Structure 1
Amino acid sequence: MEQKNNRYVHLARVVVEADTPIAIGTGREDIVTDAPVVRDVNGLPYIPATSLTGVIRHALGIGKEDKNVVFGYHDKNGGQGSRLILTDAVMIGKEGKAIDGICNKLNEDFYSHYIEKNVRQHVRITDKGVADTEGYGKFDNEVVYKGTRFVFEMELLSDDPEVEDFENSLKQLYDETFRIGSGTRCGYGKLKVVWCERVTLDLMDAKDLKAYLKKSSSLSSSWEFKNSKAFGEDNTPACNGWTKYKLKLEPLDFFLFGSGMGDEDADNTPMTDIMVEWNEKGEPSFSTQKTLIPATSVKGALAHRTAYHFNKRKGIFAENLKSKEERNKYVGGCNDAVQALFGASVDDVPNKRGKRGNVILSDVILQGVETKVFHHNKIDYFTGGTIDGALFQEKSIWGKGKSFELEIWVDNKALADEDVMWAFEQSLRDLCEGLLPLGGVTGRGNGVFGGERGNGVFGGKLYKNGELWNR
């Protein structure tokens, strides 16, 4: 192994914000949720250094077999340890400072939101559009609130004052497709860089050496390198290898993404969430409840409609499928287009090896919308009359006039097949033109999205790589 003098040390401190909820799991379940997030000694969420290192290394395209001297490697001849050192990303607390160590203020209201678990409910939907009752149809997971901020540091020892790998590692944090944790294909894991400073110190220089030795290892201490430079958004990568679709939509009228719970007004209420908001002084606070359009609901609808269009283009129709094996091959998660775009679980593929999806979506949060409670009676199918005691209520969202943008990133490898790309883009077209309703109670007219394109024409706008897509 080649020895280096390591005359220079490259340092960076980075503050990131959860631009979507994030879920870095423990790999275990507890009595509250199937997938709790990792927590520090205070019971507050944090991002392990191993998670950061792994996703940065993957984003740089460094495989397990690559002999990379920065991230280290191992082979039959021994290998080399990593020269890039990352700290855990600890949470920034109520006062705008990192909580690195024991915190004695956990009884305050701000921290109580993190001590109590924020759990998301999920139901697996079959190809028939109903809940999966034979498998593991119901599951949940804990997430960290959108807007939560973390701080961490990166350090690299080198014999070169300019190290491209260090710069490239920081650049990956600005990539719009950079995701961390689990559920990255279900709307979780997007980070936004709020602040980043970097400095290179010459350990042969007395002042730089003194500054390096004086530096505290605590992330709660201030960054005091006078000659450090800001590392800004001008370093954002071009996201080569991905196609970006952007949909500008507006609800026709009512929609409902159900929370699975009721309140004092209705038995079925819309899904909402709170988020962390930061003021100009860098102090956080929790918002009021905001209406949530979960990425998982959009993803599921697009996957099923993509399977339909793919089968239609291939001339695959139900009456021609004789056996159960043939039917399973072309519906749901077994469809070739669905597997290429959205991945597959181990139960959906013959070799029992799951595939990660190639489509990235994010949750959408709407503000300033109104709700309306609808009252329903259950009807006796025999008499046509109402059933005593079967009155129930649904609280829907009135979204007309509240436009929003939905961004979807797709790996170009998944779009290499022209039939797959055609089926997916036809599904996006259906969504824009109100032909693909989203959410619950769509059979009663809810969940139609589109918008006014002008001249009384209904339909949202769809952009592909920044250009309006001519449908």
Structure 2
Amino acid sequence: MDVWRLVLEARSPLSIASGKDELVDDVVLALTPAGLPYIPGTALAGVLRHALQAHVQDELGVNGAKEVADDVFGYAQGDDGRASRFECTHAHIHDSRDRVVSDVLAEVSPNEPILGPLVHRLPTKRQRVRINAHGAAADTGHFDRTVVPAGHRFSVELRLWSVNAQAAETARNWLEGLLSSPALSVGGLTRSGLGRLKVVRGAYRRLDLRNARELGVFLDRPAALDQIRGLHPWKAATAESPWATLPLNLRAEGALRVGQGSQALSRHGREIKLADAMPYVEPCVVWESPSKGQLTQRVVIPATAIKGAVAHRLAFHDRRHRGEWATPDSVRTALAEHAPKPTGVAAWLGTIKGEQGASYAGGLMFEDITLPLPSVPSPQVGHRTHNSIDRFTGSVRDGLLFTEEYLFRVSLPTALHLSLAACRRTDGVAWQALQDTLEDLVQGRLAIGADSASGLGYLEGDYSREDFEALRQAALQACGSPADATAQEMIHE
């Protein structure tokens, strides 16, 4: 048996749904009876099974990859089946002193720096809105997701049974490669910036349970998951990732406001009057030392702000290159509740069952952009007053004066991750549509956030066009699609 005890840190907020209905929140977190978030073992096992199958699919094919996943994680098919060789505990959260809280009935003090707010204050929520084919907010399309702030740590134990040393070594290499992948993520909206995890420390040991001494080591393991007596220090090795990363160096051309925050950033907002609309601010945990975590606030540009804009511009360029022009019938189809996605959008952003006869996850993964709270006063925070004008008289409407805060010319470093599997199923037109969309984003033709009609939200920046082109050529050669020449003709026409 291979045994790991790992400490996982949330690189971005986690949103692991409990599946419960609630009148206030649309998506409720999985919580212990004490009200603390945890990562269910089924969530980790499911993610690792899917990642293992995708990792070996290119080498072994679909059927071979399924056999490997069935061998490690088990299966049930009619009267036939096999128990899983992989075992996983729930991942329990840590307190501010980096100690695991594994007692599901533990009482949490309101004064505990990082756990108290989770239990005794209103939860952190990410607001979402569904956009229709016209680029406007869809009716009844507003919803929210409750999240666990980034930076929280969790402890978990993984166990892997094997019948011999060779099978153990093979499965261990696969599993450790998945654990060290930058794409390790759980929960909802993993393609939209949430759920990313990293291993901050761990311990490991291979035990032969036929040996009495090693069986004793296994049985004498401490109950607390963050205790590693009997195990050896372990560090995740660098492994080949199934994702390619394309850094994006973005900067706001002028003003930018994304989301709706509740904390004033300007001196006017703090000392005179709180603005009616402010940039989104979210808590996160920062570990000032190995055993001291503190809750702090940061400005967040959610990944969904970029992904939503990219998705709609991607659909425009894909339809343009394929000659799918707007007609009354096509517009009605696009506005239908379960309208099929354009070919290129489905290839890059995934599709659900029933759309174009296939279902697969998106091949693009976006990251949240996080910024420290600016000092007060700061040249990167602006404050302005708006009023509403009567359309008939041209005068100011009574009682409709409001104010907003915005960020000004801030740097927005981020990255776009491309699934290599998705790259290989994507044709030349979809690649060209993605490149055109990225060019629009970095050249100030695609706005994100609020009030783009008034000039807010436009960006400037750059990305490595050489890396993008190398990735495209490698992917098109791997898939060997004969449609690429036709695609280029369509684009040139």
The structural deviation recorded for 1:76 is 4.5
Q: Residue 190 and residue 333 in structure 1: after superposition, are their counterparts in 2 closer, same or farther (change >3 A)?
A: farther
Q: Name 2:393's counterpart in structure 1.
A: 383
Measured against aligned partners, the alpha-carbon deviations of 1:321-377 in whole angstroms (never above 9, x if no partner) come to 556556659x9863222222223467x9477x8653222112110125442211011
Q: Name 2:126's counterpart in structure 1.
A: 120
The structural deviation recorded for 1:191 is 0.5
1:103 matched to 2:106:
yes
**Counterpart secondary structure, 1:150:** strand
CA RMSD of aligned residues (A): 2.8
The structural deviation recorded for 1:176 is 1.7
Q: Name 1:5's counterpart in structure 2.
A: none
The structural deviation recorded for 1:246 is 1.8
Distance in structure 2 (CA, Å) of the matches to 1:350 and 1:192: 35
Structure 2 unmatched runs, 5+: 55-62, 265-272, 375-379, 473-493
The structural deviation recorded for 1:78 is 3.2
Give aligned-pair identity as a percent. Answer: 28
* Bigger shift: residues 256-265 or 160-169: 256-265
After superposition, where does 1:98-177 map in structure 2 within 5 Å?
98-101=100-103, 102-110=105-113, 111-115=115-119, 116=121, 117-133=123-139, 136-161=140-165, 163=168, 164-177=170-183
CA contact (8 A) 1:173 1:191 kept: no
Equivalent position to 1:223, from 217, 224, 228: 228
Q: How many residues align?
A: 441
* Bigger shift: residues 375-384 or 99-108: 99-108
1:373 matched to 2:383:
yes
The structural deviation recorded for 1:396 is 0.7
Q: Name 1:79's counterpart in structure 2.
A: 81
**Counterpart secondary structure, 1:79:** strand
Measured against aligned partners, the alpha-carbon deviations of 1:140-194 in whole angstroms (never above 9, x if no partner) come to 1101110111110111233424512133223212112222111112211110110
Equivalent position to 2:276, from 256, 267, 270: 267
Distance in structure 2 (CA, Å) of the matches to 1:446 and 1:332: 30
The structural deviation recorded for 1:265 is 2.0
Equivalent position to 1:358, from 363, 374, 378: 363
Distance in structure 2 (CA, Å) of the matches to 1:83 and 1:381: 70
Measured against aligned partners, the alpha-carbon deviations of 1:18-38 in whole angstroms (never above 9, x if no partner) come to 111111101123133100110
Measured against aligned partners, the alpha-carbon deviations of 1:218-253 in whole angstroms (never above 9, x if no partner) come to 325x21126x24232xx233223x443221111122
Distance in structure 2 (CA, Å) of the matches to 1:208 and 1:350: 54
Distance in structure 2 (CA, Å) of the matches to 1:223 and 1:69: 28
The structural deviation recorded for 1:469 is 9.7
Q: Name 1:454's counterpart in structure 2.
A: none
Q: Residue 280 and residue 322 in structure 1: after superposition, are their counterparts in 2 closer, same or farther (change >3 A)?
A: closer
The structural deviation recorded for 1:460 is 2.3
TM-score normalised over the length of structure 1: 0.85
Question: More helix per residue: 1 or 2?
Answer: 2
1:297 matched to 2:298:
no
Q: Residue 192 and residue 119 in structure 1: after superposition, are their counterparts in 2 closer, same or farther (change >3 A)?
A: same
CA contact (8 A) 2:180 2:238 kept: yes
Q: Name 1:431's counterpart in structure 2.
A: 441
Q: Residue 48 and residue 173 in structure 1: after superposition, are their counterparts in 2 closer, same or farther (change >3 A)?
A: same
The structural deviation recorded for 1:464 is 6.3
Distance in structure 2 (CA, Å) of the matches to 1:322 and 1:40: 50
CA contact (8 A) 2:383 2:403 kept: yes
Structure 1 unmatched runs, 5+: 1-8, 451-458
Distance in structure 1 (CA, Å) of the matches to 2:368 and 2:331: 36
Q: Residue 427 and residue 215 in structure 1: after superposition, are their counterparts in 2 closer, same or farther (change >3 A)?
A: same
Distance in structure 2 (CA, Å) of the matches to 1:323 and 1:416: 23
CA contact (8 A) 1:146 1:275 kept: yes
TM-score normalised over the length of structure 2: 0.82
The structural deviation recorded for 1:257 is 0.3
